[in-house]
Structures are given as structure tokens and as C-alpha cells.
Amino acid sequence: MAAGPYSEKVMDHFMNPRNVGEIDGADGVGEVGNPACGDMMRLYLKIEEGLVRDAKFRTFGCGAAIASSSMLTEMIKGKTVEEARAITNQQVAEALDGLPAVKIHCSVMAEQAVKSALDDYVKKHAG
Amino acid sequence: MTKAFFDHIATTPLDPRVFEAMRPYFLEWYGNPSSHIHSQGQAALRAVDRARAEVAALIGAKAGEIVFTSGATESNNLAVLGAAEGAGTGKRHVVVSDVEHFSVMNALIPLRNAGYEVTVLPVDGNGVVDPDAVRKALRADTALLSVMHANAEIGTIEPVGPIGRIAKEAGVTFHVDATASAGHIPMDVREIPADLVTLSAHNFYGPKGAGALYLREGTKVAPRTFGGFQEMGYRAGTENVPAVVGMGAAATLAGREMGAWAEHLTRLGKTLWDGLAAIPMLHYTGHPSERLPGHVSFWVEHVEGESLLLFLDMKGVMAASGSACSSNLRGHDEEDLVASPVLRAIGVPSDICTGSITFSLGKGNTADEVRQALDALPDIVERLRAMSPTYLDYQKRHVKGG
């Protein structure tokens, strides 16, 4: 598939996305994007003792959006909350062996989703 | 796994008979039609003249009214810019429909910059231009009206006959972009009062790199390329002889066989339409009956277009999307990611514009290939919906509501 617009890694994560689904009673839920812009991602986090124990997602979007979502969940599982928050869209794109220029926003969506889910976590656990 | 190509609106495979007609003009007859003191040049000139007559015959024109170009984009540019300039001073108004191809729409940019006023005609939910709206838009200072014959993305055929008669009464030059329709449905300039008609060879089983612009006798068009006196002065530069020969051969085949092709495509298209009804929340786009044969376009709720097409390709089924995502994959930046202007024009909500799918069937497609697509689609839709947060919300609302 490398002859198409996407790397083999993108196609692998698109065809076999990891961690699709929901987490009941998630500690943090983040939602970013908008179907009107062509993609939307919802991320669920299970956080224990400052660690991301589990991550699941649902995404409406193109191949790059689904692959970025899948890769992100792989990258943050087992990380501390601080490490997860520090993940950048470039790191997601690099882990996918690159994205076409017009698809960089898909990796940005993944980065924003984790920040949004962690904000939700902080809000839920404040006080 | 067989590979089923359903993207004939983007391009068609070359008919082998067309290839055979072109073959001698690569190695054997390589002459320049403008240098015809010798037999090489004479052979090339005869071939180009014959092709001119063949292309003219496809649309009921005279050979002297056909100018060869490099393709539809160049023809549309020449029509729009050439006719605007050719209309002379005092005519600084251009009217186009809202669903024209980029090669018409973007040709308006330099016109606007030069102070021309542009009126864009809206279309209805089926993508049809209202002739009455044309009548109201035309003015004494209108240089050009441009309305396509059929739309590539949604398949709708425009009422170019009635629109052309209105333009004629008003004395306005009328351009018809027939790229998607030529060679597929009849188009006769003796019946449709078009002054300029764009044709593209590779859309009717001819080669890429060959197009034509029909110029009705007496239509004033200023050239856009400057050089020698090829193509009656409208298009300088040595003709692409093999491609022009191929366009002529393809035009002859289309003229002879398009009735049979249309019958075959209509039958296959109906099988596809009927089969798609099994997919819940699928919506057809374009006019239900006034459409190109074998053109099936739709969108599916909670399914993004590019993802669907990627999965279809894995199943050996090649279709296309009006989606910003896939059509602009090779764009330079995210500014290029805009929802399809055509879908926006017919009033499809923007969250759906990214999900439009076009199956454009060709004469080589078979019932088995259509079956292959219909077998693959439900699982793919199911799979993508299972991943979509919007579908999850829909299901929750649905359960709550029921």
C-alpha cells in the first residue's frame, strides 16, 4: 500500500485500528473536531495513580484521522499523565512514518484529544 | 481478486481500437502538420484534418469549427477568457452556474481581477440550473454564459437546450462544458444553440492530452496562446498528432456505439442503485432521472468518504469521492481542504460533504463487478459506523427516543 497516499503504518492502523471503543466510567473523556470539518475524535481514558491505564477511541474521519487516533492510544497507554499531555502531533505523525501535508491536522486532532481528555480528568478530580 | 474500476468520470481506459489508430503516428508518421511540403508533414496534416471532421461529426458541427487543445481545462480556459475578451469593450459581465468545473470557476479569477462582474447561478437540490434564473441574470453587457452539460460529481444533466435558446434570444455567447457528457449522451449543436462546447478525449475512451473546443462560426474568441497559426489562430503550438488522431477515432466509436453503451450502463447502474437500497441511511445525490447513464452518486450517514473508498480499494473496487479529504490529498496545505463546492451548491449539509461517493461505470464494467461492489459495501459501512462517535450518539438518541 505504500504506493498510495499513506505509509504502510498508516494503512495498518487504519485497517486494524487499536483500542476502538468506549470505557464505562472513564476518568477523562475528550472530544475534538467536528464532522463538518471532516473528522471528529472522542477519547476515553482510565487513569490510576497518575498513569494512563487504558485508552479507547471512536473517530469519524479519513484514513489519517483513524490511524492517528489508533496510534495515539498506543502511545499514551502506560504513560504518566504528564507524559501523555506532553505528546505532540509531530510525534504521532512520526510514529506513523509520516502523513501527507494536507493530513497533518489529523495528528493535531489526536494531540488535542488527549489534552481535552486530561482537562476533563483534572476537572472531575479537582477538589 | 478482480479489480473493478468505477471511476470513469475521472478518466476512461483507452479503447484498444483507438490505440491502434494512434499507433502509426508515433513512429511511422511523425511529421508536423504545419510543415507539409513533404510527405511526412502531409500525412500528419491529413490525419489532423480527418480527426477534426470526426470530432465535428460527434456533435453535428462543421470540421472548421473544431479547435484542438490539450484537454478540457485548456478548452474551458480558452472559452471563458477568450469569449470574455472577444466580446469587446463594454461587455464586462459573465454568468456561470454554481456547479461548474474548477477550470471554469478558476478562470473567473483573472476576469474578476480585471474588473469583470460575475453572476453565479444557484442550482436546486438536484443540481439543476433554472432557465428562468438564466433569463433574469443575462444583461446587455453580458459577455458570456457558461453552463455545463452534465455534472461529473452528481451526474445531473442540465437543460442546456432551453438555456441556450434564452442566451440566443439575448445575444449572449453560450459556452457548454460537455466534458462529462460528450460521447455518452447525444449532443448536437444544430439542436442546442451553444456557441462554444468543451470536449475531452480521455472521458470517452480516447487518450489523455487531447481536447477540443467547438466554436460556432462567427463566435468571437480571443486566443490565449500566442505563437504560430495552428488551429486557425486560436491555439498556437504544434498539434499533439497521435492524441488528436486518437480523439478522432474515439469520437467515431462513440458516435456509433454510445447508444449501446448507454443501454449497458443504465442496466448496470440500475442494479447498483437497487442494491444500495439495502444500506440504511444512504442518500442519493443528483437528479433521479436526468443523469448520465451508469453514474451513481450518494452519501452515507456517519461514514466518511475517504475511509469508505480506502476499504473499497482493498476489496478491489475503485470509486471516487467529492470529498475534500481524498480529492485534495496532493494539495499543498490544509487551505486546500474545503468541502465539495458542488455538494454545497445542492444544499447537502457540510458535515456530509466529506462523505460523498461517486460510482461512474464504463462500457467495460460487468454485472459481476457491480455485484463485487454491492457485496463489499455493507460490511465496510458497518465497520466505519462502529468506529464513529456520531453513530454512537445517534444510536443512543434512537434508543432513548424509542
- Asked if A102 lies within 8 A of B389 by C-beta distance, the reply is no
Mean pLDDT of all residues belonging to chain B: 93
Residues B132 and B270 in one domain: no
Closest CA relative to residue B351, chosen from B391, B319, B395, B309: B391
* Residue from A62, A69, A103, A116 to probe the interface with B (highest B Cβ count within 10 Å): A62
* Confidence class for position B335, pLDDT limits 50, 70, 90: very low
Which 8-state DSSP code applies to residue B130?
A: P
- Asked if A38 lies within 8 A of B307 by C-beta distance, the reply is no
Q: What is the ipTM of this complex?
A: 0.91
Instruction: Give the integer Cα–Cα distance in Å for B183 and A39.
Output: 38
> pLDDT digits over A20-39, tens only?
999 999 999 999 987 766 78
Alpha-carbon distances, residue B385 vs A14, A58, A72, B247, B302 (angstroms) = 14, 9, 20, 44, 6
Evaluate whether residue A3 is within a structural domain.
no
Judging contacts by C-beta atoms under 8 Å, the chain B residues touching residue A5 are 329-330
Least CB–CB distance from A35: residue in B311, B325, B351: B351
Residues B221 and B264 in one domain: no
pLDDT at B355: 66
Residues B244 and B282 in one domain: no
**Position B180 pLDDT exceeds 70:** yes
Residues B244 and B352 in one domain: no
Closest-CA distance of chain B to residue A81, Å: 24
> pLDDT digits over A48-104, tens only?
999 999 999 999 999 999 999 999 999 999 999 999 999 999 999 999 999 998 899
- Which is catalytic among the residues A37, A86, A102, A122? A37
* Per-residue burial over B118-148, b = 16 or more CB atoms within 10 Å of its CB, e = otherwise: ebbbebeebbbbbbebbeebbeeebbbbbbb
Which 3 state secondary structure label does DSSP give B212? strand
SS3 letters for B55-81? HHHHCCCCHHHEEEECCHHHHHHHHHH
Contact A69, A31 (CB under 8 A): no
How many domains does the structure of chain B reveal?
2
Q: What is the end-to-end Cα distance of chain A in Å, rounded?
A: 50
pLDDT at B354: 61
pLDDT at B325: 39
Closest CA relative to residue B95, chosen from B135, B60, B50, B55: B135
* Confidence class for position B341, pLDDT limits 50, 70, 90: confident
Residues B247 and B264 in one domain: no
- Which is catalytic among the residues B325, B337, B338, B374? B325
Residues B134 and B115 in one domain: yes
Least CB–CB distance from B337: residue in A17, A31, A38: A38
Annotated catalytic residue B353: no
Evaluate whether residue A2 is within a structural domain.
no
* Confidence class for position A4, pLDDT limits 50, 70, 90: confident
Q: Taking the model in full, what pTM does it have? A: 0.92
Q: Of B254, B283, B305, which marks where a domain is finished? A: B254
Instruction: Give the integer Cα–Cα distance in Å for A110 and A68.
Output: 6
Q: Of B206, B229, B254, which marks where a domain is finished? A: B254
How many domains does the structure of chain A reveal?
1
Residues B242 and B307 in one domain: no
**Position B63 pLDDT exceeds 80:** yes
Least CB–CB distance from B389: residue in A14, A42, A105: A42
- Which is catalytic among the residues A65, A106, A110, A113? A106
The C-alpha cell at B152 is: 461529473
Residues B237 and B283 in one domain: no
**Which residue is closest to B331 within chain A, CA to CA?**
A102
B304 in contact with A, Cβ within 8 Å: yes
Cell 463489499 appears where? B376
**Position B337 pLDDT exceeds 80:** no
pLDDT at B401: 54
Q: What is the share, in percent, of chain B residues with pLDDT greater than 90? A: 86
Evaluate whether residue A127 is within a structural domain.
no
Residues B153 and B224 in one domain: yes
CATH number, domain with residue B189: 3.40.640.10
> pLDDT digits over B257-296, tens only?
999 999 999 999 999 999 999 999 999 999 999 999 999 9
Evaluate whether residue A104 is within a structural domain.
yes
Return residues 322-341 of B near A (CB < 8 Å). 323-326, 328-334, 336-337, 339
Evaluate whether residue A67 is within a structural domain.
yes
Range of the structural domain that residue A47 is part of: 8-121
Range of the structural domain that residue B309 is part of: 4-9+258-401
> pLDDT digits over B91-107, tens only?
999 999 999 999 999 99
Strand partners, B123: B129
Closest CA relative to residue A105, chosen from A61, A56, A58: A61
Strand partners, A48: A51
pLDDT at B324: 40
Residues B31 and B89 in one domain: yes
Closest-CA distance of chain B to residue A117, Å: 15
